[in-house]
Structure 1
C-alpha cells in the first residue's frame, strides 16, 4: 500500500487540497482558511496529483472541459454508483436530483442520491455542482452556494452581468 501524498493549488475559489497516490486522487477539497501554499508544495507528488493540479489550472483558465485524472475516491458501493453517474453530466449542463435518481433506477432514492452527492470527496472532477433542484434552484453544495453558482456560470460561458 502506498503512502498518501498531499498537494495544494490556488484556484479562483480558494486553496485546493489534493490527496492521492499512484492509485489515483482520493480527495480534492477546498480549504476554509487561507494558507501560504508556497511552503506546502510537495515536489514528490505522484503523477495523478500532478495531473490533477495541471488540469484544474486548465479548467479555471477555460481551456479544459473534461478531466482525465486517475481517480480513486473512497466510499460505499452506493456512493461510488452515484459519483460514477455524476461523471456522465456534460460540461455546461445540469441535471436535477430527481433525474439522477431516475438514472440510478430508483426515483424514491432522491434523498440518498443528494446525500451521496454531498459526500463527494473529489471537488469539480466529479461534478456534483452540476446537480440542481427540480425547480432550477441551486440547492445544497458543500463548498457554498456562491461557489456552485460561480462554477455553473464558468461552465456556461455566460457570466451574470451587474449594472454597477
Structure 2
C-alpha cells in the first residue's frame, strides 16, 4: 500500500515528519488495519463484529493481506505480537513490544498515564474495573475519565482496553463492539486456563 505523510507528531527525539505505512492483518476476529512509521505504531483499527467467529479458538491463524511490501520494524513487531496473541499467547511475554508513535501516548496527561498503567499492570487473562484502573493510575475518583481514556486508546489489543470492565462485572462498551470485547476476554480466559494445566 502506498505511504502518505502524516501530520507532525512529537516524538522523544523532538519534532519529526513521518511517512505512515499501513498493513492489514487477517485475524480470527477479522481484518485489523495497522498504521505506523519508522518510529512506531500510530493506530490499530478494529473490525466491527456482527457475530462471533465460529471455531476461531482451535483454528486461529493470522496472515497479512495488504501492505506486506513496505513494512517498518514497528509494524513487523506489531504483526508478530498480534499473531502470537491470537495463536500462541504465551509467546507475547517474550516478544519485543513495538514502539508507539501516537500524539496521545507522547504527551503527559491522565489518559496517557491510564493507558501506560493498563499496559504495565493488567496482565493477560486478567480484568480490572474502571474504578480499579483509576486507583492504579493515581486518581480513584476518575473512573469516568478512565472510560474516556479507553475510548481514545489508539492501540487496542496491545494496550488491552478490552480488559477494563464495569464494577458490576458487565463487560462495558468497546470500540470494536461488545462482541469483540467478549471474544477477546473469552480467548484470554481460555488460553490462561490451558496454560495452567
Q: TM-score, normalised by structure 2?
A: 0.72
- Kept in 1: contact 2:48–2:177 (CA 8 A): no
Query: 3-state SS of the aligned residue for 2:19?
Result: coil
Cα deviation digits, residues 100-159 of structure 1 (max 9, x gap): 111122222111111111110101000000000111110011111111111111111169
Which ranges in structure 1 are unaligned for 5 or more consecutive residues? 160-164
Return 114-123 or 76-85, whichever deviates more.
76-85
- Kept in 1: contact 2:21–2:72 (CA 8 A): yes
Q: Does 1:47 align with 2:73?
A: yes
Distance 1:139 1:114 in 2: 9
- Aligned positions, number: 155
Q: Does 1:93 align with 2:126?
A: yes
Cα deviation digits, residues 24-47 of structure 1 (max 9, x gap): 1111112459xxx74x32411111
Which residue pairs with 1:60 in the alignment? 86
Distance 2:42 2:18 in 1: 13
Change in Cα spacing, 1:158 to 1:48, as seen in structure 2 (3 Å) is closer
Spell out structure 1 runs of 4+ moving beyond 6 A.
none
Distance 1:86 1:55 in 2: 17
Q: TM-score, normalised by structure 1?
A: 0.86
Change in Cα spacing, 1:44 to 1:140, as seen in structure 2 (3 Å) is same
Which residue pairs with 1:71 in the alignment? 100
RMSD: 2.0
Q: Mapping of 1:83-122 within 5 angstroms?
A: 83-87=115-119, 88-122=121-155
Distance 2:115 2:25 in 1: 23
- Kept in 2: contact 1:65–1:91 (CA 8 A): no
